[in-house]
Amino acid sequence: MIEVLSAGEVGRARVAGALVGAILAELRARCVVGTNLLDVDAWARSMILAGGGSSCYVDYAPSFGVGAFGSYICTSVNDAVLHGRPRDYVLRDGDLLSLDLALVKGGVAADAAVSFLVGEARPDGGLALVDVTERALAAGIAAALPGGRVGDISSAIGRVLRGGGYSVSTEFGGHGIGSTMHQDPHVPNDGRAGRGVRLRPGMMLALEPWVMADTTRLVVDDDGWTLRSATGCLTAHSEHTVAITEDGAEILTLPG
């Protein structure tokens, strides 16, 4: 299902997106050397509830996972890139951490992710990976124009990722979002311009380029959720929720 939101619903999406952005910014500041990922999950729960939201993840049980996710945020470290289930792990100097958060407020969902280095960055610590996903996200947002196609976004993202020297997996990517977190259309992180669903004002999309340093193959942890690079290489992931407007894409999940 592809939802086209009313002006009032987009207004509520701005509120939900602002809460996501504010929580991610606060969690990023708190994630220092010595922070336990279980504490990050507890902080996320507290801030979601305090902000009047509800988690999209706790009861999330899609076909590709094993049971309900059961936590309030995805915490993916180093070679983990997607769906990292919080665990009893203490962050170390130089860890590359991705935080992915989705919630519903006012009947509308918002979803965003950020990757960053904890403590002192190492020369090979993944800054290039973070940079390329952020640039790819910016390119995808710039291509999300009314009257355009989903393929325009995919092509723009893929050009940046491949231009950085990385191979691109299209196994997981962006998606439509509205009253629920995951909807059609799927937005692959590579593709052909001019193809796919036509973009209309009122559509919302969560765009999320991710990349692994030297592979496109994923493996899943025993927890049934956490996806890692098959080679153990570093990974990064960036995401924003955007609303298609008459003038282009409005980013809804920026920190306030």
CATH of the domain at 62: 3.90.230.10
pLDDT tens sequence across 123-153 = 677 999 999 999 999 999 999 999 999 999 9
**Domain-embedded: residue 77:** yes
Q: What is the mean pLDDT of residues 78-103?
A: 97
**Domain-embedded: residue 233:** yes
Output the CA torsion sign for 32, 33, 39, 40.
positive
Domain count, the chain: 1
**Domain-embedded: residue 185:** yes
Q: Calculate what percentage of the chain has a pLDDT beyond 90.
A: 93
The full length of the chain comes to 256
Domain that holds residue 182: 7-251
- Residue 120: is its pLDDT beyond 90? no
pLDDT tens sequence across 197-237 = 999 999 999 999 999 999 999 999 999 999 999 999 999 99
**Domain-embedded: residue 11:** yes
**Domain-embedded: residue 114:** yes
**Residue 63: which residues within 8 A CB-CB, separation 6 or more?**
none
The span from the CA of 213 to the CA of 234, in Å, is: 6
The span from the CA of 241 to the CA of 2, in Å, is: 15
- Fill in the DSSP letter of residue 172: S
Which pair of tokens denotes residue 237?
């992931």
**Domain-embedded: residue 116:** yes
What is the signed CA dihedral for 255, 53, 117, 254, rounded to 10 degrees? -20
**Domain-embedded: residue 1:** no
- Confidence (pTM): 0.96
pLDDT tens sequence across 182-201 = 999 999 999 999 999 999 99
**Domain-embedded: residue 256:** no
Q: Calculate what percentage of the chain has a pLDDT beyond 70.
A: 99
